[in-house]
Structure 1
Amino acid sequence: MRDLILIALYALGAGTLVGLIGELSLRLLRRRSIILHICVMLTVTVASVVAGIAAVAQAMFLSAHDLQVVLITVLASAAVSLAVGTTFGRRLAAASVWSVQARERERQMEASRRELVAWVSHDLRTPLAGLRAMAEALEDKVVNDQETVSEYHHRIRVETDRMSQLVDDLFELSRINAGALQLTLSRVSLADVVSDAMATTAPLAARRGVTVTAHAGDWPVIMAGEKEITRVVANLLVNSVRYTPPHGTVQIDAAVQAGEAWLAVADTCGGIPETDLTRVFDVAFRGERARTPQPQEDTFGGGLGLAIVRGLVEAHGGQVRVDNTSVGCRFEVRMPLAPAAGRDGTRRSPPIGPAEPTRTSIPSGSVLHQ
């Protein structure tokens, strides 16, 4: 019985000494990664067992050969235990980090959904109240002069267009978030897409006094859904035109790099605050907390355009980002090239000519002067 007590004391003493060293190490490493903490804990656990066995074996006055056999066996078992424990520890740490990130993302998405519902309700309630007031005024003959009646009809159309676009954006965003977006991929020339987007944005740019330019040279041909990529380019272009002050410029560039196509829309808006750069693609983010629509007719939308851009681009397996420049900001979209699109995956932009009078094509160095 006395021998057993001594063995227990030897093992307890050796394990306690290793445990104290391990606790001190964990205190010094408390600001390090969780993986390092798990590795240290495993090392301390195995080392305490090895130290206890080694102390007991030494106290038992084993022969040199027997002591060597015991130590080799224990060290081999310790090495296997550490290898297995470290592998599963890394997996556990990764799963723990992923779980925390998933919960945080879910919390952010839920907060974003609640915020979106509140903001959309406001964006719908405001024009609806105005429509009702104008409709009642027309119905009750409160206004009867032709100029005012015409203005009321104009405002009703404007507010109706505003709500229609908001509903369309919500529908598109719901399809993206629900995974119900079905893409019909085909070879799409960015020259044609940008040409259509410039023609569509021309009236808005004219009202705001903004010059829209397209680069000279080759335009990539990508594999994408034509309708979806057209909306991506149009949303980016409209967003840049809206936030560019009068007499500013919006430049569209595209090229092939590292086996993929990129398209960039750069403006002279003055830049985006650094704190907002990571939020510009969030749902309903407008860069300001006020939700009251501005009195211009070109302020349609509920802050969903860039969120739709990100969703559509990622659905194609691409990426979108935004960076500040010295005079404004630059949105860049990267998309996969179309197979067998030529030696460099590009296409020369067609010149303007009488053969296609309904399409505004992009000639070399074309400019929309407003």
Structure 2
Amino acid sequence: MRDLTLIFLLALGAALVVGAAGALLLRLLRRSSITVHLCVLLTVTVLAVVGGVAAVAEAMFLSPHDLEVVLITVAAAATVSLAVGWHFGRRLAAAAVWADQARDRERHLEKGRRDLVAWVSHDLRTPLAGLRAMAEALEDGVVSDPATTREYHRRIRVETDRMTRLVDDLFELSRINAGALALSLNAVPLREVVSDVLSSTAPLAAARRVRLVATETGWPTVSASEPELTRVVANLLVNAVRYSPEDGTVRIEAGRERDSAWLSVTDTCGGIPPADLPRLFEVAFRGEPARTPRQANGGAGASGGLGLAIVRGLVEAHGGRVEVHNTGDGCRFVVRLAAA
């Protein structure tokens, strides 16, 4: 019993020395990865065993042959332990990185939801206040002459249409974010889609004195869902018209590259600050005051802070991508989809 106690104390002393050195090393490596920490812990454990065995052998409790056998056994176990520790350390490090990215995405989404609620509340409060004021004026007989009454009715209809489009955009965006968008892909001639959108956008462009120019040739056929593709083209075209100055030009072009097709919409908005380009497709992002939507004749198409977010969601649902960059006097949006 006395020898066993002495062996224990010798092994404990050696382990404490090695453990203290390991704790100091971990403190120095506190900014290292979790893989490094795990490997250091396993190494300290193995060295503590080796130190204890060496101390016991030095006290003549082990023969040289027994010491050699024990050290070989410890070395074999240490090799396996370090390999397993390094492997799981890599997995834990990857899991930690993924968790950090997930938390960042969650914070980003939460900020986007707060911004969206604030933006929608602001965009609904103003027209609702105007509608209530005009309705009360008509109800109380404050407005009686036919011309003013007709103007109030027209403005009520315009603001109602605007809020209806906003609600439609919110519903579309919720379908995209919830993954509830069911696409029926077919071969869609891009020229026909653009022609229909040009016809519906022509009144807005004429009211703003913006020229719409489309190329005559090079229109490919794409694999897409026609209603959603029409929504993408309409949102881009209306966005370009709304931000182009009077007497500006909006140009629509298309082409094909191997197995993919592209559609571009170029406006003369004067360009977008480079810092705003990566955020342009975020929900409710408005950017510089100069790019705040001007509701000419009540506006049209997608609401300012949702239209481009819907474009990105619909394009990515098709397996494509959308990008934007500045040109000489404006900006150019490019949509890339699979060719039929």
State if a TM-score over 0.5 links the two structures. Answer: yes
Q: Give TM-score scaled by structure 2 length.
A: 0.82
Deviation of 1:120 after TM superposition, in Å, equals 2.4
Query: Separation in 1 of the partners of 2:68 and 2:331?
Result: 69
Range with greater deviation from structure 2 (105-114 or 41-50) = 105-114
Deviation of 1:281 after TM superposition, in Å, equals 1.9
Residue aligning to 2:337: 335
RMSD of aligned alpha carbons: 3.0
1:214 partnered with 2:218: no
1:11 partnered with 2:11: no
Residue pairs, 1:1-370, within 5 angstroms: 1-24=5-28, 26-27=29-30, 30=31, 37-59=33-55, 60=57, 69-215=69-215, 217-257=217-257, 259-287=259-287, 294=294, 296-300=296-300, 301=303, 303-338=305-340
Q: 1:279 to 1:53 in 2, by over 3 A?
A: same
Contact 2:240 2:265 in 1 (8 A): yes
Q: Residue by residue, what CA displacement relative to the aligned partner does 1:309-332 show, whole Å, maximum 9, x if unpaired?
A: 122122222222333344332322
Matched length? 329
Q: Residue by residue, what CA displacement relative to the aligned partner does 1:102-124 show, whole Å, maximum 9, x if unpaired?
A: 33333333343343334323323
Deviation of 1:288 after TM superposition, in Å, equals 5.4
Q: Residue by residue, what CA displacement relative to the aligned partner does 1:265-290 show, whole Å, maximum 9, x if unpaired?
A: 23232222333333322222222589
Deviation of 1:187 after TM superposition, in Å, equals 1.0
Contact 2:243 2:294 in 1 (8 A): no
Q: Residue by residue, what CA displacement relative to the aligned partner does 1:179-214 show, whole Å, maximum 9, x if unpaired?
A: 332222211122222222222222222222333333
Query: Separation in 2 of the partners of 1:248 and 1:76?
Result: 77
Q: 1:105 to 1:18 in 2, by over 3 A?
A: closer
Percent identical pairs in the alignment equals 62
Structure 2 stretches lacking a partner, 5+ long: none
Contact 1:123 1:293 in 2 (8 A): no
One-letter code aligned to 2:255: A
SS of residue paired to 1:335: strand
Q: 1:195 to 1:293 in 2, by over 3 A?
A: closer
Q: 1:253 to 1:115 in 2, by over 3 A?
A: same
Bigger helix share: 2
SS of residue paired to 1:219: coil
Query: Separation in 2 of the partners of 1:288 and 1:71?
Result: 71
Greater relative contact order: 1 or 2 (C-alpha under 8 angstroms, separation 6 or more)? Answer: 1
Query: Separation in 2 of the partners of 1:65 and 1:272?
Result: 79
Query: Separation in 2 of the partners of 1:209 and 1:90?
Result: 61
